[in-house]
Structure 1
Amino acid sequence: MGELVATFEKNRAGLGTALLQHIGISAVSLIIAMLIAIPLAIYSIRHKRLANVLLQVAGVLQTIPSLALLGLLIPVVGIGNVPAIIALVVYALLPIYQNTYVGLNNIDPSLEEAAEAFGMSRGQKLTRIELPIAMPVIISGIRTAMVLIIGTATLAALIGAGGLGTFILLGINRNEPMLTFLGALAAALLAIAFSVLIQVLQKVKPKTLGIFVLVFAVLLGGGIGYSRYQASRPTVTIAGKLGSEPDILIEMYRQLIKDDAPSINVKLKPNFGQTSFLFSALKNDQISLYPEFSGTVLESLVHTDVKANQKSAKQTYRLAKKELQQQYHMTYLKPMAYNNTYALVVKKSFAKRYSLTKISDLNRISAKLHGGFDLEFIDRNDGFKGIQKIYKLNFSKISMDADLRYQAIDQGKINITDGYTTDAQLRQFNLVALKDDQHLFPVYQGAPLISKETLKAYPGIKKSLNKLANQITDEEMQDMNYQVSVKHRSAKSVAHKYLQSHHLLKAGD
């Protein structure tokens, strides 16, 4: 309990912001879902075939995996709140529609006949008889939808919409269970609070309910207006992938930019998600820049027949820069020194037992291997596909979240996984990266990938960010990752210490 309280105190300000973001996304999604589902259910009461079709459609929509739905929405509507709200509305439609339909359909026919005998119109029957009787069932559907929305909204953090999922992802990524528990606990308490609120609103008078809805609408409108005002301000938005290393790099970018031009409004979006999410956001001008690796550019982002693993570090970077400019009109600034390439990783004790020093040695013990790999690694030609093709290796494997694979190998659930050469976990869990003796993995040098609009608006950014060119060795990056992931120091302080010690900031900063 003491550790939880300490974690709360340390992250109280960020938790408050995340909670407000989560409430905003959840409330808007629930209201939109109600405005769609309830009228459709009322209309379909007299159209049984339509009702069956709508039930089937809503059921099918709810079976779509949430991450897949977000991935499908990003190319269409971009990132942030909009795709998150659309996805949440989709998941909330079925329980609200189904319960509203069932509640209205099960009303005693004698009550309908009595209402008609009194000369009530269709609208009067609906508002005075049908909806009041069906209301407990409708509220039950709304409550189910609300719990579903609050739980699923944690994934909004993956696409830059914030919310309590940010704490869950950070906790998993940094191996801080209390941070994950704090985010999950806050989400659970929020669901309970919403459930109680809905139950209270069910008992209030219609006039009081109307006043509440009006006040909520005004507050919501004010919040949306303020958000749009904030979004309209000239801002350099720097995003980063999941992990301590991107957190450190985007903090360095921010501090370098602010050091040279304090008037520039810089906004960070850490733990943004997979490569495809960030690249899509950059293409759609929803972020200004993010750190990307030269090998990733050639293997995953641009269209080229050139094999990245056949090129030197300089050749890989130059080709990546050229293709990004020609195909997407993006600027790839100068790279840092370190090479954060892929590696196959085993425990040092496992390597010693079977005399493993390079990937080719694994052929001798392929029957003993049980791997757990990041899904992106499994699907890449410079990942597991390349391992199978070049090294002729094939062994049992499972896919797992990138942040959980190191815990799995440490606990003995798997005995081989993918990693990066600068990962702090190599040091933390006493692991060794096997030598890539067939040169499968390309060179991965990090560099800022920036939109031409950002450079046009803020030309001085180029000079600021290029201060990191040829800086940061493999050992320095691994140590900084260790400080953040294992020692739980803030990415901001670790980044600032490095910049200061290498005289990249002005004196006294």
Structure 2
Amino acid sequence: MMADMNLWEQLLYYFSENGFYIWSQFFRHFLISIYGVLFAAIVGIPLGFWISRHGKLADWVIGAANVIQTIPSLAMLSILMLGLGLGVNTVISTVFLYSLLPIIKNTYAGVQSVDKNILDSGKGMGMTRWQLTYMVELPLALSIIMAGIRNAMVVGIGVTAIGTFIGAGGLGDIITRGVNVTDGGAIILAGAIPTALMAVISDLLLGWIEKKLDPTKNKKILS
């Protein structure tokens, strides 16, 4: 039946016949991506603060994260698969590793950008190191940290798409199915378009949050 339709008619027909399947894979894809980025944020943000206190170690930690970033995605999946096996956990771990660099780097840059005079004022008021971190450095650096999370999320969505090769599911399954059949262009688009939309919407949403958290853009001008 689809053979008698043009590409866009085939795409609409595929969506109408497989809407629930596409939605379930979209949701699965999103969860894999966000879990990987969330775990990276839990590790990367404290690590970024820590290396900002130990400047000599910053180059080593960021360098190690850079090395991870240079490993091709399929190679990373293959390496982790040896220890974690097939499935979702391996893909989440891969997203986690690829998300570390932007989160650590942006956290470090955000903390380093905090005006030292503000920190000195806090110390003069008797604030402890924890209070300075939680009440001064974190709020002022949060927009830059969010920019790192934003970059990590977009990268994570792309990495998750190849998780189909190790049985993790997601929208990559639909793309692969289209590649493996004759005249599967509509099926490929049925997987590729939601993947692209997920990346664009995530980028826009996190970009909006990033702007809202930017202290330089939220100053109230007193008249």
Q: TM-score range by the shorter chain?
A: 0.7 to 0.9
Q: Which residue of 2 aligns with 1:141?
A: 148
Distance 1:203 1:148 in 2: 20
Unaligned runs of 5+ in 1: 206-509
Question: Structure 1 length as normaliser, TM-score?
Answer: 0.39
Structure 2 residue 101 is matched with structure 1 residue 94: yes
- 1:101-500 matched pairs, under 5 angstroms: 101-174=108-181, 175-199=183-207
Distance 1:73 1:51 in 2: 26
Distance 2:162 2:144 in 1: 29
Please identify which structure carries the higher helix content. Answer: 2
Distance 2:108 2:208 in 1: 23
SS at match of 2:53: coil
Q: Which residue of 1 aligns with 2:70?
A: 63
Query: Percent of aligned positions with the same letter in both sequences?
Result: 35
Letter in 2 for 1:126: T
Contact 2:37/2:153 (8 A) holds in 1: yes
Distance 1:133 1:188 in 2: 32
Aligned partner (choices 55, 58, 69) of residue 48 of structure 1 = 55
Shift of 1:128: 1.6
Contact 2:147/2:207 (8 A) holds in 1: no
Shift of 1:3: 3.1
Q: Please provide the CA RMSD for this pair.
A: 1.7
Q: Deviations over 1:152-181 (max 9, x none)?
A: 100111111100001111111114112111
Letter in 2 for 1:180: I
Q: Which residue of 2 aligns with 1:3?
A: 10
Letter in 2 for 1:131: L
Shift of 1:198: 3.0
Q: How many residues align?
A: 205
Distance 2:35 2:198 in 1: 15
Unaligned runs of 5+ in 2: 1-7, 214-223
Shift of 1:200: 5.5
Q: Deviations over 1:3-30 (max 9, x none)?
A: 3212211221210121121011011111
Letter in 2 for 1:191: A
Letter in 1 for 2:120: E
SS at match of 2:86: coil
Shift of 1:199: 4.5
Distance 1:127 1:6 in 2: 52
Distance 1:43 1:72 in 2: 28
Distance 1:66 1:200 in 2: 29
| Higher Rg | 1
Q: Which aligned runs of 4 or more in structure 1 are off by greater than 4 angstroms?
A: 199-205
Q: Which residue of 2 aligns with 1:454?
A: none
Contact 2:102/2:151 (8 A) holds in 1: yes
Please identify which structure carries the higher strand content. Answer: 1
Distance 1:72 1:180 in 2: 27
Letter in 2 for 1:19: F
Query: Cα distance 1:47–1:88, how it changes in 2: closer, same or farther (>3 A)?
Result: same
| Greater relative CO, 1 or 2 (CA 8 Å, sep 6+) | 2
Q: Which residue of 2 aligns with 1:436?
A: none
Shift of 1:2: 3.0
Question: Structure 2 length as normaliser, TM-score?
Answer: 0.86
Letter in 1 for 2:27: L
Aligned partner (choices 14, 31, 34) of residue 21 of structure 2 = 14
Distance 2:44 2:20 in 1: 36
Letter in 1 for 2:199: A
Aligned partner (choices 9, 28, 34) of residue 41 of structure 2 = 34
Distance 1:58 1:121 in 2: 30
